[in-house]
A and B are shown apart, each in its own frame.
Chain A
């Protein structure tokens, strides 16, 4: 089975510019997650979708970050405007769970490394 696909793999922008990341989950996976992994730290959940609805966005900096999952499949994460502290790897993950009782593992993509100059 094909894994979680993310693009681009690398992105370099200047502060105050905007950037978008794309994620295509494993086919049939209803739940999709975006994580931010700052260098030297573990990933931190930004947002969780169940189909095309938001389940948890409590840690998403909503003044500059936005995410959508149209039609319950692909998802995009956007940052506008970017700050220096947004330099990180952005990981997308998906799982088979519809929600409720979670007993399926999350499968991760290779991530996008974002560098802010």
Chain B
């Protein structure tokens, strides 16, 4: 079974600065996807960024980028120019790409990101 570990229960950053959230995972599969989701108090899970395991290039979406280290099974999220609206719970998630249909997400416990004005 796959596991996802987020070792930072809470992180705090000054507005406009950069913060990195950590995530490690464990799997024996070679084909998979990794995601970062944001969950504000409204509870809706919002996709921030995704990474296909077969791609060596790190994914980037505007101010959000990842550092994907496949050998180390590490998948960190970097948020540049932090904004007040970035404050939320951030979850790292794993999804199998092996086929067969079963592809529910496995989530970490989350990191609470606080933005200091």
Contacts and interface: CB of A to CB of B under 8 A. Distances in A.
A31 B110 CA distance: 25
Interface residues of B, number: 28
Contacts of A48: 101-104
A44 interface: yes
A25 interface: no
B108 A103 contact: no
Interface stretch (A11-19, A67-75, A93-101): A93-101
A91 B45 contact: yes
Given A101-B97, A105-B35, A111 B103 contact: no
B33 A110 contact: no
Given A56-B104, A106-B105, A101 B99 contact: yes
Contacts of B35: 105
Contact of B101 (A42, A44, A45, A55): A55
Interface string A45-61: 10010100001100000
A56 B44 contact: no
B85 interface: no
Contact of B104 (A40, A45, A100): A45
Given A102-B103, A107-B47, A110-B42, 19 more contacts: A33-B105, A35-B104, A35-B105, A42-B93, A43-B107, A45-B104, A45-B105, A48-B101, A48-B102, A56-B101, A56-B104, A91-B45, A97-B103, A100-B99, A103-B97, A105-B47, A106-B105, A108-B44, A113-B43
State the 8 A-B residue pairs at the shortest beta-carbon distance, nearest first: A42-B107, A45-B104, A99-B101, A108-B45, A102-B103, A56-B102, A55-B101, A111-B43
